[in-house]
Chains A and B, each alone.
Chain A
């Protein structure tokens, strides 16, 4: 921000000043055309929603319709989304590892811990609760808001929190690789993410092997009640999403910390190393 300093900045400011009102006006005009919030006569409320509201619980055994739609009716879309998240993690790995990190080495998270007694005590109390809550969110996604995605992010965030505070257990001496303080290594995170996405596709292919369409779980031989079978398969799908997301979160954090560390910038430029 601040006053324009040279020609390029001035042109960008003018472009921005011209684009902002135009975009704003377009958005406001577009919003005026939308149906009223919660309008029972809108196309979405008359055409699509009643089908899910009336049949989702009986067909899929999931009281939370969002889970039923995401993991069952639109399972193919969710497979694509999970693949996008996986690809984002891979992209980060390839770009940042190429910038200086060595992905074959176990990641140490941060090169130096943030550590203080208070932070250490707080994370020791907080992180187990976060990790347990993540699993609860995954399992309870059938009934209450939540599911594999949110649970995976929570689980990954809990592991990251621990790494931020503890840092590596062994700094490494050139011969011995650094040992991560908490949670899986970069390789481990990557394996988790791969296992998740393969598990998702595997459940879809298993449904095909038993005579259904791809991701049509009703044909899986898990019981006689089709709604119960779908419920179990949905839990499998959610667990696969959980693994992918938790693994990808770990890969993102580790590649950011290794890539930056290997390029020679120490953690916290204002502060020296702690040892």
Chain B
């Protein structure tokens, strides 16, 4: 159980860091990639909790689809947010 707790804390800390970085960076493409990383960490955490179906959905939608949509949108704007 202690190991599981350590992994959980590590994942949650990485989620907080990636979310904060996604807000802080000026480059929209970097922000989209960081948001994808956040989604992937969320999916891993869901899988750790035993919610494999939810983890699968999060990995598909958050990790893949929204990242693609964000990137294709970012390519069509000025790409930088100031």
Are B78 and A249 in contact, CB atoms less than 8 angstroms apart? no
With an 8 A cutoff between CB atoms, is A79 at the interface? no
A256 and B73 contact, CB distance less than 8 A: yes
A67 to chain B: closest residue by CB: B53
Secondary structure class of chain A's binding surface, majority of residues? helix
The residue that B72 contacts in the complex, of A110, A137, A269, with Cβ under 8 A, is: A110
In contact, B77 and A164 (Cβ under 8 angstroms): no
CA distance A150 to B61 in the complex (A): 8
B21 → chain A closest CB, angstroms: 11
Instruction: Please tell me if the beta carbons of A269 and B60 are within 8 angstroms of each other in the complex.
Output: no
Nearest chain A CB to B54 CB, angstrom units: 8
Q: Once bound together, how far apart are the Cα atoms of A154 and B61, in whole Å?
A: 8
A150 engages B77 (CB within 8 Å): no
Among A110, A157, A257, A265, contact of B60 (Cβ-Cβ < 8 Å): A157
Question: Please, how many angstroms separate the alpha-carbon atoms of A52 and B73 in the complex?
Answer: 43
Which of A156, A268, A270 touches B65 (beta carbons < 8 Å)?
A: A156
Closest to A263 in B: B76
Interchain CB contact under 8 A, B53 and A253: no
- Chain B residues contacting A154 (CB-CB under 8 Å) are 60, 64
Interface bracket on B: 20 to 34
B7 interface residue per 8 A CB criterion:
no
Residues from chain A with Cβ under 8 Å of B64 in the complex:
153-154, 157
State the Cβ distance, A113 to closest chain B Cβ, in Å: 12
Judged by a CB distance under 8 angstroms, whether B23 is at the interface is yes
Which residue of chain B lies nearest to A1 when distances are taken between CB atoms in the complex?
Answer: B24
| Minimum distance in angstroms from B12 CB to a CB of chain A | 12
| CB < 8 Å A-B pair total | 60
Give chain B residues whose Cβ lies under 8 Å from the Cβ of A156. Answer: 65
Q: How large is the interface on A (under 10, 10 to 19, 20 to 34, 35 or more residues)?
A: 20 to 34
Q: Is the CB of B69 within 8 A of A269?
A: no
CB 8 Å contact bits of A230-269 with B (1 = contact, 0 = none): 0000000000000000000100110011001100010111
The stretch among A7-15, A141-149, A187-195 that forms the contact with chain B is: A141-149
State how many angstroms separate the Cβ of A72 from the closest Cβ of chain B.
15
Looking at B53, B64, B68, B77, which has the most chain A CB atoms within 10 Å of its CB? Answer: B53
Q: What CA separation (Å) do A256 and B72 show in the bound complex? A: 8
Contacts of B76 in A (CB 8 A): 256-257, 260-261, 265, 267
Residue B13 lies at the interface, judged by CB distance under 8 Å to chain A: no
CB pair A253–B72 under 8 Å, yes or no, is yes
Q: Counting CB contacts under 8 A, is A181 at the interface?
A: no
Could you name 13 residue pairs across A and B whose Cβ atoms are closer than 8 Å?
A1-B23, A145-B53, A145-B56, A150-B53, A150-B60, A153-B60, A157-B64, A157-B65, A252-B69, A265-B77, A268-B75, A269-B75, A270-B79
**Those 10 A-B pairs whose CB atoms lie nearest each other, nearest first:** A260-B76, A153-B60, A145-B52, A66-B53, A145-B53, A157-B64, A265-B76, A150-B60, A150-B56, A145-B56
With A37-B49, A160-B65, A260-B76 known, 10 other A-B pairs at CB within 8 A are: A145-B52, A145-B53, A146-B56, A150-B53, A153-B65, A157-B65, A253-B72, A256-B76, A265-B77, A268-B75
